[in-house]
Every structure is written in structure tokens, then in C-alpha cells.
Structure 1
Amino acid sequence: MREAFVVVLAVPFLVGAALAPAEPDRDVVFRFADTEIVESSGLVVADGLVTTVNDSGDSARVFTVDLATGETVGTTTWPAEPEDVEALAPAPDGDVWVGDIGDNSEARETVTVTRVPIGRGDLSASGTSYSLVYGDRAHDAEALLAHPRTGRLFVVTKSVLGGTVYAAPSSLRPGVPNELQRIGDAPGIVTDGAFFPDGQHVLLRSYGRAYVLDFPSLETVAEVDLPPQKQGEGIAVAPDGTVYASSEGVRSPLLRIVLPPSVERVLAAPPATQSPDLPDRPTPSADPNVAPGDPRQPAPPGFQRDPWQWALGGLLFVGALVVLLRALRPPR
């Protein structure tokens, strides 16, 4: 049983490792000079500064890096013991949201987002934290998004067969769990995401591919192959619309992603829906007797699963079943 569980957990990381050829030098903005940055996961770029955070296992800290040099120019710490920090999202007044939202075993009762200041110099912050809870069950997630106009937070879960986009309440309350509202589907193995400055398009990435979605319909309108990376985790859209991507590893590169003209045309076109945000109410159920969050509730419209995702899921199931049967076989 344990071996099968390990196989399933390892698959996303094996996918990332398979996409590990050297990246083209022409895409490299810099390499992180700070050897304390070993697993760049979350990423925010603004005002000539890059903010990043290490993957799970680090202390409560974020790094501020000079976009021109790759040198760390500031570190923010706060009193906390995070479980699995995976993501960053921009916050008002030059702050960032830190997403302690990872949950590989899908066992956490709540996850946490914390708002902290960033900038040049070493900062010690109290950190304003909020608990988030899914309405259905626990999920693993690595993407935290903040709407550029409303500031509302969104969490995108990570799953081989495709994830789910959840919206946090428009106003978070401290000291109590804030229930996440399911609003639609997402591609498979999402490792990070960000809004474009218009607030009407979302960029989600997996290890080797990026997806542009209309918001709030979450209809996929474009796809982009990303440059090969050791294990691509972070992606950010700067206020001027420039896209950057990071990956795990010491002295890993920050890449500038040049979007194809076809994608630029999509971003320039009017979106399918014009609503800047979502109402604070559960997604309507086709059956009024089915409670919000109930798995019998129909899925909202959004990303359509690709056939390869279902095929990969079937292979994973078969592989895990074979390992399980071998583990249960009595010794000869």
C-alpha cells in the first residue's frame, strides 16, 4: 500500500524531471545569485524587483531580488512555522500574499495565506494570516492568484487529471476558516499562475506548458510551450504584461517568456465575459436539494480535460494497482 502511494505522489515530480534539458541562454534574464534560494516556487515581479519563495521545508521567509542583477537585496521574515509554502501573489501597497497551500497527502483541514511587506533591506513583519478551507475535501495546490483590480484571491489545485479553481471570499476574516468557492476546472499539474494586468485573462503553467484562460469563464483560449527547465515551478506576469518563469535548483535561471503573436492577439481581443469578479455566493446546483460543495453537484464550465490526461491517469492507476498487488503477494 505504501509503495503504491509513493508511486502516485512521485509522478508529477517525475514529469518535471523529464523536462530538464538546458534552457536557451537567450531566454535567461539572470540566475539567482543567492544560494539560499534552492527551490524557487512562487514568483512575483514588479517595480524592478523579483520576489520568490522556496518550496516546502523552508522557514517563514521570502526573498526580494534585483531584476537587473539577480542579487538578493532584501529578505522578509515573520513568526510562523509554515507546512508547505508553494506560491506567491501580489498584494496592495507593494506587499505579497504567501500561499501555504501545499498538501501532497491531501490531509490538511485548512491552508493559510499570509500578507507580508517586501522590498530592499531585511524586514521583520508580524504577517497577517488567514485560514482557507475547501468546501468539499482537502486538495494539494501550488498556484495562488490575486485579481489585479479587486485583490480577490484564487487557489488552483494540482492534479494529474486536471485541477480546480477556487475563489476565496472577497473579504477575508481573520481567526476563522474562510470557505473557498469552486468556480471551474483547470489544466493538469498546475504549478503556478497569475492574472494578466487586464484582470480578464489568467495564465496557468504546468512543468512544460502554459495556458491562457478567459476570466471569469475559465475558457482556455491559448496554449504556449514553455522553455525546458529543471523543474518549472514559478510564473509571474509583471504590470507591463511581461511573463517570467522560474524553476527549482541552486542558481536556477529566471526566464523571460516571449508570447507568440497569436497569443498576443488573443490577449488584445475582447474577452468572452466582461465581469471583473465573482459574486460571493456558491455556484448554483442543478438540483436544489444538493448542497454546495457536494460531489454530486455538476461541475462548472471551464477547462476541458485533454484525452492524454485521462490516458495518463489510467496508466497511473494500473501502475499503482500492480505495485499494490505485488506488495500484498505472500512470500514464496
Structure 2
Amino acid sequence: MRRPFAVRAGALLGGVLFSGAFAQLTGPAAIPASAADGDKGFTIEDPRITESSGLAASRLHPGVYWTHNDSDDGPYLYAVDSATGKTVARIALAGVGTPRDVEAISIGPGNEIWVGDIGDNLGGTWKYVWIYRLPEPKKLVDQTVKATQYVVKYSDGPRDAESLLVHPRTGRVYIIDKKEDGGHLYEGPAKLSVSGANVFRPIAAVDLWATDAAFSPDGSRIAVRGYFGGISYAWNGGKIEREGRLDVPLQRQGESVSYSADGTRIMYGSEGAGSSVAAEDAPEGASSGSKSPSGGGSSSASGDDGGSAATGGVKVGALAVVAVCAVFFGLRRLRRRG
């Protein structure tokens, strides 16, 4: 659900930072695809992928990233070769209903793909959402794969969410809800059931308006991103501890995040036709995710999601670009869905 973001970001930032926006709009283009190493960043070339909302690095097929559209496509997943940006397979999910708002994708133990149909375009009013699980195909060709569908409810009522995480070792499923002033990490049952609803319960606060999150390949930390920034957390068995800010790049509409398969890079995806996936070095220690002093005291959504004082000059122009683009894409989505 991005319409509130477009309206608020545009109103707050558009007029104040217009001059910075003009300077940024005439600046360098997005990171190009690298034929030698896709983990340096790439551009999604498939014209069918116009609203890439989730991203997950395949462990079965090196250099391949799985993605999907938001809510206007169907039960499809796309395998994208990061060396070329081209789709090498489209998977149709069988055995599930019509998706409503697919927002996230994750790879669990045994190379199983988990898909989160967890967005709520009605503002957190759907009584339940869905999660789909399917085996990752061993051969990357267009095909139909049977998936298992799970019904999900929250212990404290309906909510919007765009972040689905599956622990790479335990296989336990987690969701982070999407709230401007920060959300919560929700833990699912140890084993999901196909009969009845699976109740997810909040276990920790998250200091971000989260649009996606991902486990590191060893399960020791999670990366949580928002529109303008991100945070690295040590996992600690679900008792997450903040390590520092992530160096999230400027993007048209930042939606997705994934660790590379080897855990050395964090990949950041965005929506829109021909959208870019940018790469940054993954944090190696408790403080390496932050390039500026973190300071003491409690965090706020605006402080954590808006960049640091050390890079304030760059961030001002960056925020302006995001504001202008947000208004454009938000209005386009309103016209299309109205």
C-alpha cells in the first residue's frame, strides 16, 4: 500500500526541496547491469515486471534472483539472471487462489520459496492474508508448480505488511508490519498448518516504516529497509538488537531487499518498468552498517528512515527526487485503481 506514502512524501518534501530535486534529476543514471558480476547491481529488463515488490537470491541457481509483481499480475514468479537482467523463467503457482497484494518473497531451508500475499490495500482491514510455499524448480524454464497456501491472522488484528522473512535454518516464518512510526516483528507458529488460520504474534519492535526485510544467509542478522533508509539488526533468536543504519541507495520507489547468496552484499530493488537493483556491501560487524554516529536514546521513524547528518547535503537532494517520483507514481496508481 503506497498511496499514503506518495501523498505524504510529496506534500512534505516536494515544495521545500524542489531545487535539490532538479539537480538530482539531471545527475547520473542508475547503476548499470554488470555481465561479470550481477551482485554489483543490475536492471530488470522484462517488460512484464512493472511492480517488482519482493526480491530473494536463489541458492540453487547462482546469480539468479526471484521477484514478482505487486497486485496487478497474477500467481507468477520471475527468475531474473543478475548478470544480464533478463528473465530466465516464469513460474505459475497452482493450487492457490487469486492473489490480492503480493509484497514479499523469501527462500527457506531446502530451497523452498515462500511468497507473502500480505499487503492490504484497504489499510489493514482484511481479516486474513495468505502465504504460499513451493519448491524452487531445479530447472529454470517456464512452468507451473503446485504451491501450498496458508491462511494468516495477527493476534492483535488486521494490518498492512510488506516484509516476509523465513529463517534459513529453522524455517520459521516472520512478518514485519508496515507503519510510519515503526512496526513490529511478528512470529508465526513453529509449523504452519494448512487447516485453519495461523496466528502471528508480535515479539519485537522495529524502528522503521518497513517495505521489506531479509535474513542473512547464516540467519545471524536481518536487514530491514524503508523508502529512505534501512537498519541492520542482530537476530539473537528473535530478540533483535539494532546494529546500525544500512547504506540504502537512492531509488525511484524502494520496495525490496535481499542478501546476495554468499551474504557479502545487500541488494535493493525498486518498482517501475525497467527498475534497478542496486548493491551495497553487507555489514560485517555490530557497527559497520552505520556510516555516521548513531547516538543514544530512542529512535524515531523520521530519524532512522531519512539518512544521517553526515550525508545531509546528499540526502536533501535525494529526498526531493523520491518525493517527486512518489507523487508521480502515486497519482498514476490512483488513476489506474480508481
TM norm structure 2 = 0.72
Is the counterpart of residue 196 in structure 1 residue 216 in structure 2?
yes
The 10-residue stretch of structure 1 (213-222 or 62-71) with the greater mean CA deviation from structure 2: 213-222
* C-alpha separation in 2, matches of 1:16 and 1:246: 24
Out of 131, 137, 162, the position equivalent to 1:113 is 131
Out of 36, 54, 57, the position equivalent to 1:42 is 54
Residue of structure 1 in register with 2:109 after alignment: 92
Q: Specify the structure having the higher radius of gyration (Cα).
A: 1
Q: Residues 1-332 of structure 1: matches in 2 within 5 Å?
A: 8=4, 10-11=6-7, 14=10, 24-25=30-31, 29-46=41-58, 47-79=62-94, 80-104=97-121, 105-119=123-137, 120-215=140-235, 216-241=238-263, 242-259=265-282, 263-266=283-286, 304-306=298-300, 308=302
Matched AA of 1:264: E
* C-alpha separation in 1, matches of 2:181 and 2:66: 30
* C-alpha separation in 2, matches of 1:12 and 1:205: 18
Shift in alpha-carbon separation, 1:9–1:32, aligned structure 2, 3 A = closer
Shift in alpha-carbon separation, 1:180–1:246, aligned structure 2, 3 A = same
* C-alpha separation in 2, matches of 1:16 and 1:69: 38
1:307 Cα deviation (Å)? 7.0
Matched AA of 1:177: A
1:249 Cα deviation (Å)? 0.8
8 Å CA contact retained: 1:12, 1:189? no
**Post-superposition CA distance 1:172-200 (Å, at most 9, x none):** 00021011021011123200000112312
**Post-superposition CA distance 1:254-300 (Å, at most 9, x none):** 111124xxx322289xxxxxxxxxxxxxxxxxxxxxxxxxxxxxxxx
Matched AA of 1:141: A
Matched AA of 1:306: S
* C-alpha separation in 2, matches of 1:307 and 1:41: 21
Shift in alpha-carbon separation, 1:255–1:98, aligned structure 2, 3 A = same
* C-alpha separation in 1, matches of 2:66 and 2:3: 33
* C-alpha separation in 1, matches of 2:149 and 2:260: 25
1:31 Cα deviation (Å)? 1.1
Shift in alpha-carbon separation, 1:111–1:309, aligned structure 2, 3 A = farther
Shift in alpha-carbon separation, 1:171–1:207, aligned structure 2, 3 A = same
* C-alpha separation in 1, matches of 2:177 and 2:216: 19
8 Å CA contact retained: 2:266, 2:280? yes
* C-alpha separation in 2, matches of 1:168 and 1:307: 25
Matched AA of 1:65: V
Aligned residues: 270
1:23 Cα deviation (Å)? 5.5
Superposition RMSD in Å: 3.0
Q: The residue matched to 1:265 in structure 2 has which SS? A: coil
The 4+ residue runs of structure 1 with deviation greater than 3 A are 6-24, 307-310
In structure 1, runs of 5+ residues without a counterpart are: 1-5, 269-302, 313-332
* C-alpha separation in 1, matches of 2:13 and 2:55: 20
**Post-superposition CA distance 1:86-131 (Å, at most 9, x none):** 0001133333111000013211111110012344101212210111
* C-alpha separation in 2, matches of 1:179 and 1:108: 14
Shift in alpha-carbon separation, 1:49–1:205, aligned structure 2, 3 A = same
**Post-superposition CA distance 1:223-247 (Å, at most 9, x none):** 0231110001010012311211110
Q: The residue matched to 1:93 in structure 2 has which SS? A: helix
Q: The residue matched to 1:266 in structure 2 has which SS? A: coil
Matched AA of 2:81: D
TM norm structure 1 = 0.74
Matched AA of 2:261: P
Q: The residue matched to 1:125 in structure 2 has which SS? A: strand
* C-alpha separation in 1, matches of 2:178 and 2:167: 20
1:139 Cα deviation (Å)? 0.7
8 Å CA contact retained: 1:212, 1:222? yes
8 Å CA contact retained: 1:62, 1:75? yes
* C-alpha separation in 2, matches of 1:15 and 1:74: 40
* C-alpha separation in 1, matches of 2:3 and 2:64: 38
In structure 2, runs of 5+ residues without a counterpart are: 15-20, 34-39, 289-296, 307-338
8 Å CA contact retained: 2:75, 2:98? yes
Shift in alpha-carbon separation, 1:122–1:17, aligned structure 2, 3 A = farther
**Post-superposition CA distance 1:125-146 (Å, at most 9, x none):** 2210111110011110000001
8 Å CA contact retained: 1:15, 1:207? no
